[in-house]
């Protein structure tokens, strides 16, 4: 049976898995699980992932959740080019280091920024207190500087001269919040332009 991926492409981790599979020619059947419709909470989906979260994967009788675990499984099963998850011990460890940091640092602050500046006021009609928003954006700035100063430095990619899983996970996260925040200032492109490609404090 073909590999099955359960995804909602509104989700940053889901997009990372989708892009990785497509880029590496990995055959898969995609099942769209629409988060906005609550499809991840259904009993049918719970048979694939009892935690009722996307992404999820099914490979014959083997099921797996958590985006990083799925990405690593795919790198090992399908023998993708080495640059994605290098065999060199230290380069390999650098990818692991970034993936461990990202999930509790950059991803958290990106999600908070998107919710506090866009989702609550624009879609739910609820204003976040100004001091809360300021603290959220300050946290995002700190993590963006860590991304640049510790991980990227003067390299072309996060762990060297070639793209890796670290870069894929980072860019799907950053572009999501970059586009989301800039929708607020879309009528002011000059103000919006510096948002996230560098780590300057503009946030549209």
Provide the domain count of the chain. Answer: 2
Residue 185 in any domain: the answer is yes
Domain membership of residue 20 as a residue range: 3-80
Residue 68: CATH number of its domain:
3.40.30.10
Chosen domain end from 80, 109, 124: 80
Looking at the structure, do residues 146 and 172 belong to the same domain, yes or no? Answer: yes
Looking at the structure, do residues 188 and 144 belong to the same domain, yes or no? Answer: yes
Residue 155 in any domain: the answer is yes
pLDDT in tens, 142-160: 999 999 999 999 999 999 9
What local confidence, expressed as pLDDT, does residue 181 receive? Answer: 65
Residue 203 in any domain: the answer is no
Looking at the structure, do residues 43 and 102 belong to the same domain, yes or no? Answer: no
Residue 197 in any domain: the answer is no
Residue 198 in any domain: the answer is no
Looking at the structure, do residues 73 and 132 belong to the same domain, yes or no? Answer: no
Coil, strand, or helix at residue 3?
strand
User: What's the rounded Cα separation, in Å, for the pair 146 and 152?
Assistant: 9
Q: Which two tokens stand for residue 156?
A: 């072309």
Looking at the structure, do residues 10 and 49 belong to the same domain, yes or no? Answer: yes
What local confidence, expressed as pLDDT, does residue 14 receive? Answer: 97
Burial classification of residue 55, based on how many CB atoms lie within 10 Å of its CB (0-12 exposed, 13-18 middle, 19 or more buried) = buried
Identify whether the C-beta of residue 204 lies closer than 8 Å to the C-beta of residue 192.
Answer: yes
Residue 201 in any domain: the answer is no
Looking at the structure, do residues 7 and 51 belong to the same domain, yes or no? Answer: yes
- CA distances for 166 relative to 68, 84, 96, 116, 170, angstroms: 10, 8, 8, 26, 6
Looking at the structure, do residues 129 and 65 belong to the same domain, yes or no? Answer: no
Q: For the chain, which ranges sit under pLDDT 70?
A: 123, 180-204
Looking at the structure, do residues 95 and 162 belong to the same domain, yes or no? Answer: yes
What local confidence, expressed as pLDDT, does residue 125 receive? Answer: 82
Residue 69 in any domain: the answer is yes
Looking at the structure, do residues 112 and 178 belong to the same domain, yes or no? Answer: yes
Looking at the structure, do residues 106 and 75 belong to the same domain, yes or no? Answer: no
Residue 139: CATH number of its domain:
1.20.1050.10
Identify whether the C-beta of residue 7 lies closer than 8 Å to the C-beta of residue 40.
Answer: no
Looking at the structure, do residues 102 and 126 belong to the same domain, yes or no? Answer: yes
Residue 199 in any domain: the answer is no
Question: What pTM was estimated for this model as a whole?
Answer: 0.84
């Amino acid at each position: 049976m073909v590999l099955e991926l359960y995804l909602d492409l509104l989700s940053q981790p889901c997009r990372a898995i989708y892009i990785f599979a497509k880029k590496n020619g990995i055959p898969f059947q995609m099942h769209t699980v629409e988060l906005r419709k609550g499809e991840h909470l259904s009993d049918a989906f719970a048979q694939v992932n009892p935690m009722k979260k996307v992404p999820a994967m099914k490979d014959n009788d083997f099921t797996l959740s958590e985006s990083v675990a799925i990405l690593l499984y795919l790198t090992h099963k399908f023998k993708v080019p080495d640059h994605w998850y290098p065999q060199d011990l230290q380069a390999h460890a650098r990818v692991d280091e970034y993936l461990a940091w990202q999930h509790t640092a950059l991803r958290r602050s990106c999600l908070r920024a998107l919710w506090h500046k866009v989702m609550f006021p624009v879609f739910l009609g609820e204003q976040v207190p100004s001091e809360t928003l300021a603290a959220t954006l300050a946290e995002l700035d700190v993590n963006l500087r860590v991304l640049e100063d510790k991980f990227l430095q003067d390299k072309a990619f996060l762990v060297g001269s070639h793209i890796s899983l670290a870069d894929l996970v980072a860019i799907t996260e950053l572009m999501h919040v970059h586009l989301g925040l800039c929708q607020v200032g879309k009528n002011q492109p000059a103000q919006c332009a510096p948002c996230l490609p560098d780590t300057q404090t503009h946030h549209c």
